[in-house]
Structure 1
Amino acid sequence: MRQNPARRAALLDAAIEVLARDGSRGLTFRAVDAAAKVPNGTASNYFANRDDLLTQVGGRVYERLRPDDSTIADVSKGPRDRSKVAALMRDLVERISAFPTGFLALLELRLESTRRPALREVLTRQIREDLDANIDFHLKSGLPGDATGVVLLYLGLNWLILDRLTLPDVNPEAEIPALVDELVERVLGPGLAES
């Protein structure tokens, strides 16, 4: 297998675009090569097989969706209250929505994982680790709420983002920030003390 990290990343980025556009059935080495604008056979030099490609695409999506250092650093600035959580959740919705093909590719991978146990194992581990890291970050940062609240926000925001990217007329764009704020308020609850 080839080891050029920049070429591998470009091929994975192309695979994300193919998955989002054509679904998992359309993800072939030839389609990835065409999307990456590289000679036919290039992708097969970087990935052992289609399962390897699918697995690595999942990791690449998460690399590209991670918040930047300044977003993480902003958590420690100012009060750590519900309004801070709401701002972070609005940022999350915007960051994921700005990379729609990544979210849609991840949905395709999740569907494909119902037929591929190895992919299911990898995605389960990746998503569980990501969720655990978010819970740990939330709790250590002193933001209001508990682990269950983080999980509820994760579940609620995932569906909001899914609607936004696939059926945008369900909830008009202008309503999304208010919906995120209300979700945070209801999940964290008025009875929880502010930090």
Structure 2
Amino acid sequence: MKNKICLASNNGHKIEELKELLGDSFEITSLSDIGCTEDIAETADSMAGNSLLKAQYVYSNYGIDCIADDSGLEVDALNGEPGVYSARYAGEHGNHKKNIEKLLKNLEGKQNRQARFRTVVTLIQDGAVEMFEGIVEGKIIENEIGDNGFGYDPIFVPDGFEKTFAQMTMEQKIPISHRGRAVQKLIEFLKAKK
């Protein structure tokens, strides 16, 4: 019997990516699958805090084991911005186009294009909380390239690669992505528990 676990998200891209990463060991449900229509407030001042808030909300209100994550892009020349505000950098939540435009505008004239994607994944299983972090270093390019992925993927080239995340297939991106690295730690933890 598979463990049932809820991904605290209704973001189709994120759910698809996490399902791919977790494979067949879990029966994955989304927030809408468990009847959660609320927009869970991300009011913490860190990715770890937001990840924990979402997982606790689902576990407390629906009594189901849960995986939640929060991710962000940290750009060195912008003192770590957009960071925890990555999804709403330009104001409106999840407007990728406007977020990218604002980021590129803020980087105009700056030589240092170093950046990293960071993900913190929180697992609440039988009431116990575990957290896993994944980081991928890279740089921000000047123009969007590629149609895959979401968020800042079209302007982020991971170190050691020539392509943006948005030019990669899911199979190419997952093993090297921040989310992939955090989820890999989660999978190793879960396998060790069995």
TM-score by length of 2: 0.30
Name whichever structure is richer in strand by fraction.
Answer: 2
Larger CA Rg, structure 1 vs 2: 1
Larger relative contact order (Cα-Cα within 8 Å, sequence gap ≥ 6): 1
